[in-house]
Structure 1
């Protein structure tokens, strides 16, 4: 799990750029830091309907 903890948030966000909304939601369940990154990703909050 050290790899997940040591990976910069910016790199994870770049990887998330290639994910669909469904994949970002799934990735948000990996760990707390990924959840935070996923929830602030444009694909995630862009899907919210007001």
Structure 2
């Protein structure tokens, strides 16, 4: 059985970890979506020109 203090520290570490990782995940997903969108736009304009 864990003491309340230990559980509290563990929870706050987990929360900090999640808060640190979340923005990185969101940014990387955003970058991938942006690259995919720009690649689609490029191929679209290429198809329109030819």
TM bracket, shorter-chain basis: under 0.3
Structure of greater Rg: 2
Relative to the length of structure 2, the TM-score reads 0.25
Relative to the length of structure 1, the TM-score reads 0.25
Write 1 or 2 for the structure with the bigger share of helix: 2
Q: Which structure is higher in RCO with an 8 Å CA cutoff and minimum separation 6?
A: 1
